[in-house]
Amino acid sequence: MAALATEGVYSLGRGRFVEAATYEGVEKVSGVVVTPEDLEIHIVARYPLPSPIPEIAENIRERVAPEAGGRKTTVIVDDLEVAVDEGL
């Protein structure tokens, strides 16, 4: 949710080569891969970009840091999506 609320994030990605998801019991969270040491966040960025991608990635890292529990956070931009209101 913290990643989704970041400006420039259109949605969470699903991964391009393998499905990016975390399973816990019967629940599945798409777009986030959590391992004991790492946290991988897949996003679809909103186009036109409100700020350069590294800046969006840094904002996401900052927002998720309190929940990351010290894990190394990697942000992966899976795709760009033109927002409906942009009319491009």
Partner 1 sequence: MRVFNRVFMIVLFAGLFVLGVYTVVFAFDLFDYRLESLPITNLANGLQDFVGNVEDGGLSVTTQALLVLLAILGLLWFISELRPSAPRRVRMGKGTYVTRSVVQDQVATVAEEVPDVLGSSVNVKARRSPGAQVGLEARVRRGEELGTIKSNLQSTVRERLSAKGLPVSKLNVKLVEADPRQTKTRVQ
Judged by CB under 8 A, the number of residues near partner 1 is 21
CB burial readout 52-78, b (16+ within 10 A) else e? eeeebbebbbebbeeebeebebebebb
Decide if residue 61 touches partner 1 (CB under 8 A): yes
Cα–Cα distance measured from residue 58 to residue 32, given in angstroms and rounded to the nearest whole number: 16
Decide if residue 81 touches partner 1 (CB under 8 A): no
Query: Would you say 27 or 58 has its CB closer to partner 1?
Result: 58
What stretch of H or E contains 15? none
What stretch of H or E contains 2? none
Query: Would you say 16 or 28 has its CB closer to partner 1?
Result: 16
Q: How far is the CB of 23 from partner 1 (least distance, A)?
A: 22
Q: How far is the CB of 18 from partner 1 (least distance, A)?
A: 10
Contact residues toward partner 1 (CB under 8 A) are 16-17, 45, 49, 51-57, 61, 72-80
